[in-house]
């Protein structure tokens, strides 16, 4: 299942793909995950800045995450 679990135990499921272009013209692709329901959550203020009535969204750039892992591996190498 393509989902995460928030600190309050609610599912943050894959919702859609998104593309963003920065001011330099570089386009990034994201997978957007949205919490199933943030209403009444006691951790809401610590978890998200979303307006009341909106759920927490997580944007994941898979290429960026794999690049970070590659760099972590290289930096932890003894050489």
> Distance between the two ends of the chain, CA-based, in angstroms?
38
pTM of the model: 0.79
Strand partners, 51: none
**Number of structural domains the chain divides into:** 1
Range of the domain at 51: 3-76
The tens digit of pLDDT for each residue in 21-66 reads 999 999 999 999 999 988 889 998 888 888 888 999 999 999 999 9
CA distances from 58 to 5, 13, 75 (A): 11, 9, 27
Look at residue 78 in the predicted model and tell me its pLDDT: 85
């Amino acid at each position: 299942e393509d989902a995460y679990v928030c600190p309050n135990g609610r599912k943050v499921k894959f919702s859609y793909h998104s593309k963003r272009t920065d001011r330099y013209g570089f386009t990034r692709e994201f997978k957007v995950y949205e919490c199933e329901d943030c209403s009444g959550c006691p951790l809401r203020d610590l978890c998200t800045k979303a307006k009341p009535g909106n759920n927490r969204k997580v944007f994941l750039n898979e290429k960026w995450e794999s690049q970070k892992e590659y760099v972590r591996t290289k930096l932890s190498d003894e050489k």
